[in-house]
Homo-oligomer: A and B are copies of this chain.
Amino acid sequence: VTTASRALDPHSDHPVSAITRARVAAAAGRLGYRPNPMARALRRRRVATIAIVVHDIADPYFAEIVRGATAAASARGFLTVVCSSDRDPLTELSYAEMLRENRVSGVLFAGGGLDEPRYRRRVGAWAKDVEHYGGAVVALAPRPEPWAAELPDNRLGAELATRHLLAIGHRSIAMISGAANLFAMRERESGYVTAMREAGSAELIVRADLTFAGGAAAMVGLMDGRAPTAVFAASDTMALGALSELVRRGIDVPGQLSIAGFGDIPGLEFIHPRLTTVSAHMAELGAAGVVRLLLRLDGEDRTARVNVHPVELVVRDSTGPPRVSGR
């Protein structure tokens, strides 16, 4: 049994003669033998399953990350548990707890970290426990924790979108952002602010739920005040919500108001007007997270390096020059 175990384990570095290896492989094939994952998990002290924690599985941004991650994981023999916290930190922590107890091999955090002391303390302790049993943790959104991370370039993306709006002539550009204590939002806001300051324009950030409804509500607030000529939304979902509110009001986009999003979720080229956005390649990000996680499990990456993935501005039809108002 020992020799068979070694011959069948590609990760084992114990020497097995070529002949024996072949005989084992032949016997396994003949008998249809596959190692029992449960016995293996008990012995190895962890299961061949990874988990991905998202804020909202119904948001295409996260759904794309999950798509990429599950495909990459299954290609390497790992199952993927998906946990959708619905943006509730307590729900997220209770999922994390379940994952730790079940000794999942690793956890991908697709949702950004929260700047909240109690939450940070609990997440920190939790991660220590996971690493203690040999599990890996990788972040796919910015967090204060010193974790390995694969991130989209949030700051640059926001800067690109804002600069694009500035370049086509806008000066009054508002940003629809999410909760202020979310690190991902801080990075995107920082990119927006950088571009706006550079251009000497006044910033205006409004906060909303990171949902379609939230984007629509934020747009209502914006239009009822001194309406900007352009809006940069920190997520495509919010951008779509804002856009729907404009359509509802019969406001021409981009004629009267330009709008840009972030993420490049699938289907944007079919929206009317086709939404200008920043492509964050979420599926690739999810896959990169899995690769990084598996690398850590193999002990080939002990760093907390943060890999920042490139983003690109995708100019479509929802942004255009501001209307030259009568002067």
Interface residues of A (CB under 8 A from B): 34, 36-39, 41-42, 45-49, 51, 57-58, 60, 63-64, 66-67, 70-71, 74, 77, 79-84, 86, 94-95, 98-99, 101-103, 211-213, 216, 241, 244-245, 247-248, 266-267, 270-272
Contacts A58-B63, A245-B270 known; list 5 others, CB within 8 Å. Answer: A38-B38, A58-B64, A81-B82, A212-B266, A213-B270
Query: Can you list 7 pairs linking A and B with CB atoms under 8 Å apart?
Result: A38-B42, A48-B102, A49-B49, A58-B64, A67-B84, A212-B270, A213-B270
B99 touches A82 (CB 8 A): no
Which residues does chain B contribute within 8 Å of A267, judged by CB atoms? 211-213, 241
Cα-based distance from A39 to B194 in the complex (angstroms): 54
Residues on B with beta carbons closer than 8 Å to the beta carbon of A63: 57-58, 63
Partner of A81, one of B49, B95, B212: B49
Instruction: Report yes or no: A74 in contact with B95, Cβ–Cβ below 8 A.
Output: yes
Report B-chain residues with C-beta under 8 Å of the C-beta of A38.
38, 41-42, 45-47, 102-103
The smallest beta-carbon distance between A272 and chain B, in angstroms, is 4
Determine whether the beta carbon of B102 is less than 8 Å from that of A37: yes
Q: How many copies does the complex hold?
A: 2
Contact partner, A66, options B84, B103, B272, Cβ 8 Å: B84
- With a CB–CB cut-off of 8 A, which chain B residues contact A74? 83, 94-95, 98
Contacts of A34 in B (CB 8 A): 101
Cα A279 to Cα B70 in complex, Å, equals 29
Contacts of A36 in B (CB 8 A): 42
- Rounded to whole angstroms, the CA-CA distance of A5 and B60 in the bound complex is 43
Say which residue of B83, B211, B270 sits within 8 Å of A241 (CB atoms): B270
Residues of B within 8 A of A244 (CB): 270-272
Contacts of A41 on B, CB cut-off 8 Å?
38, 41-42
Contact at A70–B49, with CB atoms within 8 Å?
no
Which of A36, A57, A248 has the most chain B CB atoms inside 10 A of its CB?
A: A57
Query: CA separation between A66 and B46, bound complex, in Å?
Result: 25
B81 and A81 within 8 A (CB): yes
User: Distance in Å from the Cβ of A296 to the closest Cβ of chain B?
Assistant: 20
Report A171 CB to chain B, min CB distance, Å. 28
Which B residues lie within 8 Å of A81 (CB)?
A: 49, 79-82
* CB-based contact B83/A70 at 8 Å: yes
Q: How far is the CA of A199 from the CA of B14 in the complex (A)?
A: 75
Minimal beta-carbon separation of A250 from chain B (angstroms): 9
Q: Which residues of B contact A241 (CB under 8 A)?
A: 267, 270
The interface residues of chain B lying within 8 Å CB-to-CB of A58 are: 60, 63-64, 67, 266
| Contact call A99/B79, Cβ cutoff below 8 A | yes
